[in-house]
Structure 1
Amino acid sequence: MSTVADPDALFAALCSEVGFCLHEKGQKRVLEALPKGLDAAMRAVLAAEGVDEPNAPGDLKKAVRDCLKAHVTP
């Protein structure tokens, strides 16, 4: 199970590093998905931004996942 010590820092990084500035509802979905793993949280980020995950570029998925990974503790 993954947890986030500082959700504000996570969402600020997603906004500044990846360009995904999630609204409150999207942030809640990401936090709810995190216990299911980084891939589930990555899919929640993409869904909150309206990105079709199966068709999203691999580089974008990796950038979101890496950003999430940098802010979670296993």
Structure 2
Amino acid sequence: MKQLNYTCPKCDNKTYQVSEMRATGGTFSKIFDIQNKKFTSVTCERCTYTEFYKTKTSGLSNVFDFITS
């Protein structure tokens, strides 16, 4: 994964962890349990302040999610 030049806005720490989260977007996706929204989170290792950034999902991952749900 690409390294970020990240500094925590709360405590000025420079160490962090990056994670991914998926969520449903609307009524249709909730009914069929399709997580069509994807977010990347950056969490400060010192104070645990977390920021979320919306990322793009591919159509293939949405289809795979629908089939496996």
- Same fold by TM-score greater than 0.5: no
Q: TM-score, normalised by structure 2?
A: 0.29
Which of structures 1 and 2 has the larger relative contact order (alpha carbons within 8 angstroms, sep 6+)?
1
Q: TM-score, normalised by structure 1?
A: 0.27
Larger Rg: 2
Higher strand fraction (1 or 2): 2
Higher helix fraction (1 or 2): 1
